[in-house]
């Protein structure tokens, strides 16, 4: 991490310090993150109103949002802006991205018919088309993760059927490339959530007294906490290695993105499960946040392809 990354992390963490995962999407908080830190247009070139940063800076923000499970359209927004930029349509980028960077509109991406962050105004689909998705075209979907809103969005098949021709063809983009970016971005969220779940578990183990001593003093729990720490740090390494490969356009970027998706998904599931086990009965109460991290773990593992799917990609690469 550079000093700039540390400063960005501190700024985002400070702004999220009072946020609650239970309160749902806070448009005011998202606008503050956009205006004061510039997260909405972090990876957008300056000519379109963004900061001109790379995917690496976006991962810092995603990791912090993952720590607190804050409902915010960062994941979908990152993918939406990247897809729009990848379309090569400079006119559309100049027309649409400044309002996205300013926080006036929220862009997202449609994946297998589902829109991540269901409060988007613009939706980019994998074929490189852009649609305006007003509230009348969105239908909320029930999900295991209570902190991530998903929506199904319906579009007319013919552009002429859309009111005021709200759909436009932007140009082709690589679905495989966008999937790899999605896997790495999601991995950053998972690393953040796993890191915070481990911290909360360690804190509880230090304060919970059983048989006259803190439960964290028992060697078996110390070993389990250490294993969790190793998992989180190796997951962070896998995530950043894949991101650096994507930024550099390295030929192994797809393989590393699949590795990050598998390991970060498994890490969050293991650490969240350990959180529930160590906390005991309190962890299965509605008032405690442990179930929110467990829900995020199992739900996020299925986004953009299950770990089993990506493990097959890893195996195919190694065997070839």
How confident is the model over 95-147, as pLDDT tens digits? Answer: 999 999 998 888 888 887 788 876 777 887 766 777 766 656 778 888 899 99
- At residue 182, the pLDDT reads 96
Q: Which residue has the higher pLDDT, 142 or 260?
A: 260
Using only the alpha carbons of the chain, give its radius of gyration. Answer: 20
Q: Measured between alpha carbons, how far is 240 from 296 in angstroms, rounded to an integer?
A: 21
Q: How confident is the model at residue 2 (pLDDT cuts 50, 70, 90)?
A: confident
Q: Is 248 helix (H, G, I), strand (E, B) or coil?
A: helix
Q: Measured between alpha carbons, how far is 50 from 54 in angstroms, rounded to an integer?
A: 11
- The predicted-structure confidence for 267-284, as pLDDT tens digits, reads as follows 999 999 999 999 998 888
Please compute the mean of the pLDDT values over residues 199-208 and round it to a whole number. Answer: 93
Q: Residue 265 CA to chain centroid, in angstroms?
A: 12
Centre a 10 Å sphere on the Cβ of residue 252 and count the other Cβ atoms it contains.
13
The pLDDT of residue 152 is above 60: yes
Q: Measured between alpha carbons, how far is 246 from 84 in angstroms, rounded to an integer?
A: 17
> Residue 315 has which token pair?
């195996």
- Per-domain boundaries in the chain: 3-169, 175-319
Most confident by average pLDDT, 109-113, 261-265, 285-289:
261-265
Q: Measured between alpha carbons, how far is 34 from 100 in angstroms, rounded to an integer?
A: 9
Supply the pTM of this predicted model: 0.92
Using a CB cutoff of 8 Å and minimum separation of 24, what contacts does 140-144 make? 141/114, 143/299, 144/295, 144/298, 144/299
By the 8 A CB rule, do 118 and 109 touch?
Answer: no
Q: How confident is the model at residue 162 (pLDDT cuts 50, 70, 90)?
A: very low
Please name the residue ranges forming H helices in 208-252: 219-248
Domain 175-319: state its class: mainly alpha
- At residue 155, the pLDDT reads 63
- At residue 165, the pLDDT reads 44
Q: Which residue has the higher pLDDT, 49 or 129?
A: 49
The pLDDT of residue 310 is above 90: yes
The pLDDT of residue 216 is above 90: no
Q: Measured between alpha carbons, how far is 216 from 68 in angstroms, rounded to an integer?
A: 24
- Where does 3-169 sit in CATH, by number? 1.10.540.10
The pLDDT of residue 158 is above 50: no
Instruction: Assess whether the region 3-169 and the region 175-319 belong to the same CATH fold.
Output: no
Please compute the mean of the pLDDT values over residues 232-261 and round it to a whole number. Answer: 97
> Residue 154 has which token pair?
């319906």
Q: Is 115 helix (H, G, I), strand (E, B) or coil?
A: strand
């Amino acid at each position: 991490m550079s000093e700039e990354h540390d400063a960005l992390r501190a700024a985002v963490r400070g702004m999220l310090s009072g946020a609650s995962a239970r309160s749902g999407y806070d448009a005011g908080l998202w606008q503050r993150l956009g205006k004061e830190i510039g997260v909405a247009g972090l990876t957008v070139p300056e000519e379109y109103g963004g900061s001109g940063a790379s995917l690496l800076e976006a991962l810092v923000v995603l990791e912090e949002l993952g720590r607190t499970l804050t409902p915010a359209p960062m994941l979908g927004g990152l993918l939406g802006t990247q897809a729009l930029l990848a379309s090569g349509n400079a006119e559309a980028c100049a027309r649409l991205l400044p309002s996205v960077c300013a926080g006036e509109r929220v862009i997202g991406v449609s994946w297998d018919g589902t829109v991540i962050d269901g409060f988007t105004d613009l939706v980019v689909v994998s074929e490189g088309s852009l649609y305006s998705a007003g509230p009348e075209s969105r239908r909320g979907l029930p999900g295991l993760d209570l902190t991530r809103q998903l929506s199904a969005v319906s579009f007319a098949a013919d552009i002429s059927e859309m009111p005021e021709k709200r759909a436009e063809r932007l140009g082709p983009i690589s679905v495989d490339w966008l999937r790899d970016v999605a896997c790495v971005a999601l991995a950053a969220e998972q690393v953040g959530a796993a890191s915070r779940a481990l911290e909360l578990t360690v804190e509880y183990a230090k304060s919970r007294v059983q048989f006259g001593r803190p439960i964290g003093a028992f060697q078996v729990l110390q070993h389990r906490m250490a294993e969790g720490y190793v998992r989180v740090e190796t997951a962070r390494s896998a995530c950043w290695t894949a991101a650096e490969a994507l930024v550099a356009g390295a030929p192994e970027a797809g393989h590393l993105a699949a590795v990050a998706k598998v390991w970060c998904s498994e890490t969050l599931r293991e650490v969240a499960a350990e959180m529930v086990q160590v906390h005991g009965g309190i962890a299965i109460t509605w008032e405690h946040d442990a179930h929110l991290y467990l829900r995020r773990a199992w739900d996020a593992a299925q986004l953009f392809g299950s770990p089993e799917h990506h493990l097959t990609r890893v195996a195919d690469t190694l065997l070839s």
